[in-house]
Amino acid sequence: MKMKILLTSLLFALTTTATIAADKTTTKIVEAPKVYNEVLNPRQKEYPNHLGFNDLHIQAIRHIMPDTNNVHDPKLKMIVHHHCKAYDDETFLCLMFHSGMKDQDKPIGFEYIITTKQFKALPKEEQKYWHYHKEEIPRAKATFPDLTAEEAAKILPAVNETYGKVVYFQKVDDKFPLGEPYVMIVQDMPEQD
């Protein structure tokens, strides 16, 4: 055990010394890459080691499976908060909360978002699980509550040209995730008034 600690300490010392030596010979200052997407959330704060699921906050209805097929079912009107992270491959992953994203709120599912080009490359059998945001955003009365109207107007055209797949691992009324996760086909939801 002592030998393992000694080797680890030695390796750390050598790495640190090499880094310091490399820094002394270099006069070029390298700026650290941003850990968030400045376009999608221009007011994002830097958080060290933060996963970034607050790059973009979207609120939408028609994202909870109703108990009935009635257009007046209250679950169709429940707001679902999507807290999204943008990835370099042009995809998003949104954790979905029915209550917000306060400290003790737990996600009940996620929405995976891809570009139109990525959607078209999917097998036809898979495409039925995805919904087109240009059609769904108006039906879901989606909003960007953390952005000004001007900021939202700039990103809406890009968001419109994406497709989403909603996967739930917990129902709103359940205390824990019970049963099997399921894909919700958003475009098949009853239209509300």
Residue 104 lies in a domain: yes
Report the candidate in 168, 158, 109 with the shortest Cα–Cα distance to residue 137: 158
Residue found under tokens 């750390």: 12
Region 47-61 average pLDDT: 72
Residue 13 lies in a domain: no
**Higher-confidence residue: 44 or 168?**
168
Domains held by the chain: number: 1
Please tell me the distance from the alpha carbon of residue 133 to that of residue 140, in angstroms, as a whole number. 9
**Claim: this prediction has a pTM higher than 0.75:** no
Q: What's residue 184's pLDDT?
A: 93
Residue 179 lies in a domain: yes
Residue 51 lies in a domain: no
Residue 31 lies in a domain: no
Residue 139 lies in a domain: yes
Report the candidate in 191, 64, 57 with the shortest Cα–Cα distance to residue 135: 191
Residue numbers of the domain that contains 145: 56-188
For 147, other C-beta atoms within 10 Å of its C-beta total: 20
Residue 29 lies in a domain: no
Beta bridge pairs of residue 111 = 94, 166
Q: What's residue 173's pLDDT?
A: 87
